[in-house]
Structure 1
Amino acid sequence: MEPEIVEPPLSAHEQALIRASVSVVEPFAAEMTVYFYAILFARYPEVRPLFPQAMDAQRGRLLRALLRIVDLVDDPESLVRFCGHLGRDHRKFGTLGAHYPAVGECLLASLAHYAGPAWTAEIAAAWTKAYGTVAGVMISAAEQDEAVRPAVWPATVVHRLPRGHGIVEITVRPHLPYEYAAGQYVGVETPWWPKLWRSYSPANAPREDGTLTFHVRAVPGGSVSGALVHRASVGDVIRLGPPQGDMVLDAAAHSDLLLVAGGTGLAPIRALVEEVARRGGRHQVDLFLGARTSAELYGVDDMLRMAQRHHWLTIRGAVSQEHIPGIRGSLPDVLAEYGPWYQHDAYLSGPAQMVVAATKALTLGGTSPDRIHHDPFETPVLSLP
């Protein structure tokens, strides 16, 4: 259950003041986040251990969350939902209710610093009210969450399997029961990079033995992905944050499903296929796998075996940079060729460019936007749909 807003909603005038002030500081957004964390750690050094040593990614998350909150100031229901997600997720960092006033003080000081003469007492009052609302929702959500589940789940690596092209399949067993839905994603922290969290989608529906399998590709400069691919071995213990995301089967209104996967985006799509099987195959599923070359169509053999077992599952490939009879073309082109899909619920997972292009193709083909499901292009801890 989402917490209720703890303060009156902002008036239209207050919303306008907040948006106007953001437009003033937006050109200095990157510098402002650096300034914010500098004064936060200087004034309240006790909060520094909550954050990773490398702060670049964290600054970006703060900015995205701030802009998202501003975007939702006139939509109280969505604002409560978003801030509730943030409050629950912040538990894994060790955030306490006592930390919120410090953050609010430094946030307003940063906004005032970069707004300059445009910062007025009226704008400060509007931001104080807005931050009080956001902090109240986050604290309430965290308290409710604390009553029913842990903040983090230690999990032991029990299996490791290279899948080629820099991808490794890692299976972990949480030390405590871990409830999630197929299609969701999970924050992962490794012992080699404390406080640095990255999100991965389990490639399986919930299992009786409680294990989760992740498909991880080592990306250039990726500390967590590099550690998981090159350093993690059986017996190592990682930590999981709470499951997140709304790309779940219960969101479907139609009995026909269109699943579209590119790269390691196959993981949550595979989990959804398993979930359909767990429910007795009550959906007809068309699955499209996209890649630049046939060699990059990882996991296709596994999915073809699943199609042989399940009559309701049809699989097609789309290869954009290699001529292969039957699977030539980009994903949007192939989707348009086999469509229309307006009587399907569509689930998309993969690189942002692919998701955007596929969404456009489906919308042009008549698919209602509310029937197109995907999670954030990046799934950082502070960026939720």
Structure 2
Amino acid sequence: MTGTWHLDPQPRPQDDWGGPAVFPPDPAALPPYAAAAPAPVSAEDIALVRASLAVVGPHVAELAVYFYAILFARHPQVRDLFPATLDVQRDRLLRALLRIVDLVDDPDNLVAFCSRLGRDHRKFGTQEAHYPAVGECLLEALSRYAGPAWTPDLAAAWQRAYSAAADVMIRAAEDDAHRRPAVWGAHIVRHVHRGNGIAEITVRPQAPYPFVAGQYVSVETPWAPRLWRHYSPAHAPRDDSELTFHVRAVHGGVVSNALVHHARPGDPVRLGPPEGDMVLRPAAGRDLLFVAGGTGLAPIRALIEQAAREGIGDTTEVSLFIGARTADELYGLDDMLRMSQRHHWLRVRAAVSHQRIAGLEGTLPQVLAEFGPWYRHEAYLCGPPQMLGEAVQALQRHGVPPHLMHYDPWDVPVLTAPLRPLRPTEETDQL
């Protein structure tokens, strides 16, 4: 990592928990990456690689520890790209590896996945020369835990599979470098507490920051270097490029607690490229349904604001459901009710799951079922993982086909997100 943080002399909490994350690119701001398909991996190679995973599977945790140990011992220059504690990063390495293996016989999707990884790794300072070092140490770790099953043929198969993935990542990073910065420097210009551990934080990038309503942004703070967390702008793009995030301080959340309780105007942050596929592309002839839980309201609010700008509400009914555990946690409800007064087409309803309040009691899935069916609607959802999963299932039961439900997965989206913008389908700060 390069660059220097300039902070006031007041001591701030420091923590090195976490690690480089990997996320999907901005599909709207950039044209699709036109990488050539990687060199094909033979069916025999694919079979060998997948069979070897069954052998090393019981030892994956130890394999990841050993991989990083030899990587840092042999190539100490890459150590500064990572935080001191690597627990989360080890898990992400394994998930990325498993997905690459899963896609090794699917060149189109392998290109899509590895291109995303390559683009995002630019913000960590990853260079082309790092890839051979990683491949060398990965194969040695695999050979150690595969034991007698590690043959010259298996080693060659893994080398070809890794090279195919690495080549795509390198080309994607090179292409992305011609289009946009790897990171944007920014500083906080406003910090307002909204109650219930939520702060409204506005940052001003040093250069124009293009994004699309509904996307999210990876943010790095000076209190936790090399630890990126994701926040959605709570608005459609602005002419001045300022971004306003709604951040909830979660228990044990290093970044969220620093931003809510310690940050103040003038403090620096760094922004990664905008990411996420939950952008407004409504299907013709369908009404819109928005579902938000907690600070997941931020991207939903941005999408509704964009719908107002585009005049979508003039011909479309728009329904918004906001869920929380208690009435005090119905973050942003008053703001959305005021928005509904300005836009006759917007209907706002709330649901409270852990408090008995007439007219509001119930979980979001229960309330959605009460006001359905939704087979004429296209749905956009954001919120805590359990709520998101339950709401998706409820909408499927009440007529919304999977390809008309749009949401971005939590945690490490590029490892779990759809590989193309098909639109079907710790510290958990909101996306």
Q: Alpha carbons of 1:56 and 1:235: their partners in 2 closer, same or farther (altered >3 Å)?
A: same
Counterpart in the other structure of 1:165: 196
Partner-residue secondary structure (3-state), 1:250: coil
Partner of 2:161: 130
The residue that corresponds to 2:207 in the other structure is 176
Alpha-carbon distance in 2 for matches of 1:295, 1:26 = 46
Structure 1 runs of 4+ with >3 Å offset: 251-255, 379-385
State the TM-score, normalized to the length of structure 2. 0.85
Residues 37 and 108 of structure 2 are in contact (CA less than 8 Å); yes or no, is this contact kept in structure 1?
no
Query: Where does residue 350 of structure 2 map in the other structure?
Result: 317
Letter in 1 for 2:291: V
- Once residues 36 and 213 of structure 1 are traced to their aligned partners in structure 2, the CA distance between those partners, rounded to angstroms, is 39
Secondary structure of the 1:216 match is: strand
Deviation at 1:254, TM superposition (A): 5.3
Alpha-carbon offset, residue 380 of structure 1: 6.0
Sequence identity, in percent? 64
> Does 2:387 align with 1:358?
no
Question: Contact conserved, 1:199 with 1:380, CA < 8 A, in 2?
Answer: no
**Counterpart of 2:424?**
none
* Aligned position for 2:278: 247
Bigger Cα displacement from structure 2, 119-128 vs 202-211: 119-128
Is the aligned partner of 1:73 residue 2:104? yes
Counterpart residue type for residue 228 of structure 1: L
Residues in 1 aligned to 2:298 and 2:385: alpha-carbon distance in whole angstroms: 15
Give the aligned residue type for 1:353. Q
1:23-42 correspondence to structure 2 within 5 Å: 23-42=54-73
8 Å contact 1:6–1:136 — kept in the other structure?
no
**One-letter amino acid matched to 1:368:** P
Moved more, 65-74 or 133-142: 65-74
C-alpha displacement of 1:253 = 5.5
Amino acid at match of 1:216: V
Does residue 338 in structure 1 map to residue 371 in structure 2?
Answer: yes
Name the CA shift for 1:379/1:348 in 2 (closer, same or farther; >3 Å). farther
User: Aligned ranges for residues 281-292 of structure 1 at < 5 Å?
Assistant: 281-282=312-313, 283-292=316-325
How far apart are 1:6 and its partner, in Å? Answer: 4.9
Say how many residue pairs are matched.
Answer: 385
Contiguous gaps of at least 5 residues in structure 1: none
- Give the RMSD, CA atoms, in angstroms: 1.7
TM alignment of 1:1-385, pairs within 5 A: 1-250=32-281, 252=283, 255-282=286-313, 283-379=316-412, 384-385=417-418
CA distance 1:231–1:384, shift in 2 (3 Å): farther
- SS of the residue corresponding to residue 79 of structure 2 reads helix
Moved more, 219-228 or 143-152: 219-228
Q: Structure with the greater relative contact order (CA < 8 A, sep ≥ 6): 1 or 2?
A: 2
Three-state SS of the structure 2 residue aligned to 1:7 is coil
TM-score (norm 1): 0.95
Q: Output the CA distance in 2 between the equivalents of 1:258 and 1:16.
A: 44
Mapped to 2, the partners of 1:121 and 1:329 lie a distance apart of 60
